[in-house]
Structure 1
């Protein structure tokens, strides 16, 4: 994790030791950032990413800079910079 990361309700957040989290990211609780069980690869998260309550980021995915991930979203593929992602399955609603 880089500087400026804010973690709320830290007791309910799981982060894979190999995951990379950029600067000024926010995790709001009940998050899981980890591998998908098929490989050991972990997510790479860019700078200024806001991860909503209950959101999961799973597998060898890259999340770009300035991304908002909605509550309970499940991110399982790459997300470009400057967008908003919601839902399960995930979908980009603003780019």
Structure 2
């Protein structure tokens, strides 16, 4: 873990990432009890973590095929549905329960009915 963080700026625990997760660049922090679903894509400068002590407040649970834009912050005991796009620099502090949408802003709000398919499948 220390070697990964020192070389890449990526901090994540071995049990929080499912198969097929793609991390584009460094400076990523994923809290120790946060969970990332299968085939997610995370760009640079993203933080996924809890508020204070995890045992009291929980941590984000990210669904499958979620695209997380650069600089996004996903904070607290929240759930992100499958196929969601989280825009660059979005601050997500509430659960996103509707699958296949795009959210952006601070705090993040729904801005589109377009989900992650395009972002995860473009060349």
TM value normalised by structure 1: 0.93
The answer as to 2:102 corresponding to 1:84 is yes
Normalized per residue, the structure richer in helix is: 2
Q: Which residue is equivalent to 1:2? A: 18
The answer as to 2:85 corresponding to 1:68 is yes
State how 1:14-29 maps to structure 2 within 5 Å. Answer: 14-29=29-44
* Alignment partners' CA distance in 2, 1:43 and 1:70: 17
Q: Per-residue deviation at 1:40?
A: 3.8
Once the two structures are superposed, residues 27-65 of structure 1 have per-residue CA deviations (whole angstroms, 9 ceiling, x without a partner) of 001000000227441100000000000001000000000
Once the two structures are superposed, residues 51-87 of structure 1 have per-residue CA deviations (whole angstroms, 9 ceiling, x without a partner) of 0000010000000000000000000001021110000
> Which structure 1 residue ranges, 5 or more long, are not aligned?
none
Runs (4 or more) in structure 1 with deviation over 2 Å come to: 37-40
RMSD (Å) for aligned C-alpha atoms: 1.2
Structure number with the bigger relative contact order (C-alpha 8 A, sep ≥ 6) is: 1
Higher gyration radius (CA): 2
The count of corresponding residues between Structure 1 and Structure 2 is 94
Aligned equivalent of 1:56, options 49, 73, 76? 73
TM value normalised by structure 2: 0.73
> Which structure 2 residue ranges, 5 or more long, are not aligned?
1-16, 114-123
